[in-house]
Chains A and B, each alone.
Chain A
Amino acid sequence: MAPDNLVEVTKLRKEFGGLVATDDVDFTIPRGAIIALIGPNGAGKTTFFNQLTGVYKPTSGSIVFDGTEVSDLPPHAITALGVGRTFQNIRLFAQMSAVENVLVGMHCRLRGGIIGSILRTKKVKREEQEARDRARELLVYSGLPRRHDDRAGNLPYGDQRRLEVARALGTDPKLLLLDEPTAGMNPQETAEFTAFVRRVRDDKGLTVLLIEHDMKVVMGVSERITVLDYGAKIAEGTPGEIQSDERVIEAYLGRGAAA
């Protein structure tokens, strides 16, 4: 495996009964890159994400993350290795406060045990305090300067999206997977978010893979784009290449439009 690739996916396949949701996809993510995954509705982008994060077991194929084969691991183990994600339709812990949401994200980085928690030993207490401080920092960093103790479910929509990112950053990831992070945001929020993604990558040395429908975001932020259609990879390249690729235009707009 080339050392500069954080993720190497080979021949990944996922079938739901007769439906081939991922059709022998080969895919690599270079370390430090921002990669976009696009495709028409139902192309299998989120299914691909779910296999990367262990929510679905692939039917066949391999996923190597940072030198470890992860296709058989459960989601929490993959998260512990350094994959953080957000969800297409927000899945915050609505009853928990914003800070607590981020603290859950830090779960696998904290050590506090049962006896220690009951006795509230100095060590556990210090760890909790540090985690809380760091969670608040992450919230501010992600664009949530206030309302840290509000229920996540009570935050406005855009803030919930930001909180999802903060929670994913709480897992201390090497790879950040964003599933349509700007869905439902207004143009200004979208622009801010695009800048934010780049900033996160630079500040924290992350690698980012995002699914996105907003072409402005995709073309603006990503260095390389992969296009899926009916579970198969139909194109891969720089934003410029993708924009003029005939198969991509066909997939999005139909055969006549490509001509």
Chain B
Amino acid sequence: MSSIATRAKGLRSNTNSWLVPVVIVLGLAYPFLEEPLSELPLIGDFVPSTGTFVVMIAFTMMAVGLNIVVGYCGLLDLGYVAFYAVGAYTAGWLASQHFEQVTIHFGSSVDNDQVGIHVTMWVVLIAAGLLTMLAGIIIGLPTLRLRGDYLAIVTLGFGEIVPQVVRNGDSFGGFNLTNGTFGIAPIDPVGFPILSGIAFFPENFQTSDNRERWYYLIAFLLLLFTIFCSVRLRDSRLGRAWIAIREDETAAAAMGVPLMKTKTWAYALGAFFGGVAGAYYASFKSGAFPADFSFTLSVFLLCMVILGGMGSIWGVTVGGLILAYLNFSGLSTIGSKIQDAGLDFDPTKYQFGIYGIIIVLMMLFRPAGLIPERRHKVEFEEGVHDTPFYDVQTEGSLTDRDRGND
């Protein structure tokens, strides 16, 4: 009886109630903890700098966005990097000297005499999200009619098309849209041009004394916002419909869930966060370059989702932070330690091999992910007690012609 009670509880409650505030406080305090932490013996060298953490958070945001598409709705998306590209280039268009034909300023942190469009990054972030959402809908409408593997292949195609367009977009009938392989740089920094007169708020993060701390703080708040929206969406009417589609598309449609609309929303909302993260990251590193948007990045983001646990927000957050940490700081730190020890081995050369091994080990020992989605957890731990047997009927093969695809 008690097992039923715990199981029932397990399906409802998410996390320990004290854990979330503790993580938030620690997260906010990290820029100040970094220094003492990095002076610790043994582990000190492995502590990521605040700047590295900004990058980690940006990619984790994308992973949480991708989790809506892959984890909730079960749509395997191998081209998520396209949304990062759209977000980054939106920042490039709206906040740089790229369009030198015009000079438009709107609450920007840069000098008023700079040519080009310079909209404040706060508006740019929203615009990037919305434009990426639109891109998600445009990509989604033709592709989401497909199921399973077919969908994955088409998304892979779009993941390649977008960077190619970006790379070759320096002359659309003579119009320079993307500046080709050179990319768009510099992209304007984030800042508080209006508040800067009042208090300690810097007008421009890039030139401020605490550049990384400010970028970190805003990135952390953006990540919290992403997670918050993600949780709320999961528990909503729309979130239920996503999971229903993941479980059984045909049954979901028969229960009144409009498939195209619901899937397109998953795509669009997943894209939204990818776009915001892309624009923010572009501002942090002050540029958007076509070489950033490789297929491996799509796979990398997917690895984060799988490592953390598909559908599990906290799992994906942790998985994203771990893989991004390894990628942007951890592996090279480990490498330098190994070389200090006199061995000639550089793990950064084998990064994708290492991620591959991590994923294989995960699949063997923790197939539902680091922090499994509560639904999957129950399944893996208890098994399915009473698998419904299929009626032995010749009709069944007709009814379920489409079943093999889902």
Q: Which residues of A contact B (CB under 8 A)?
A: 16, 21, 41-47, 50, 53-55, 74-77, 79-80, 85, 87-97, 100, 103-105, 107-110, 112, 114, 117-120, 124, 128, 147, 149-151, 153-157, 160, 167-168, 170-171, 180, 183-184
Contact = CB atoms under 8 A, between A and B. Distances in A.
Contacts of A89: 388, 390-391, 396, 399-400
A90 B256 contact: no
A87 B402 CA distance: 14
B232 interface: yes
Contacts of A76: 253, 256-259
Contacts of A184: 388-389, 391
A105 B258 CA distance: 12
B250 A91 contact: yes
Q: Which of B4, B235, B258 has the most CB of A within 10 A?
A: B258
A45 B393 CA distance: 12
B255 interface: yes
Interface of B: 4, 7-8, 11-12, 228-229, 232-233, 235-241, 243-244, 247-248, 250-259, 265, 269, 375-376, 378-379, 382, 384-391, 393-396, 398-400
B398 A16 contact: yes
B236 A117 contact: yes
B391 A105 contact: no
A46 B237 CA distance: 30
Contacts of A96: 240, 243-244, 247, 375
A93 B396 contact: no
A219 B236 CA distance: 43
B394 A41 contact: yes
B313 to A, nearest CB: 14
Given A85-B254, A107-B257, A114-B233, A46 B399 contact: yes
Nearest to A117: B236
A149 B235 CA distance: 15
B240 A107 contact: yes
A154 B379 CA distance: 9
A238 B165 CA distance: 67
Contact of A42 (B251, B252, B395): B395
A150 B233 contact: no
Contact of B388 (A45, A90, A119): A90
B254 A53 contact: yes
Q: What 10 A-B pairs come out closest when comparing CB atoms?
A: A117-B236, A108-B256, A79-B256, A93-B247, A95-B375, A91-B251, A75-B253, A149-B8, A112-B237, A76-B258
A188 B27 CA distance: 59
B27 to A, nearest CB: 21
A65 to B, nearest CB: 14
A147 B399 CA distance: 30
Contacts of B253: 54-55, 74-76, 79
B237 A95 contact: no
A104 B4 contact: no
Nearest to A85: B254
15 contacts: A46-B399, A55-B250, A75-B253, A88-B391, A89-B391, A91-B248, A93-B244, A114-B269, A147-B8, A149-B11, A150-B8, A151-B378, A160-B386, A170-B255, A184-B389
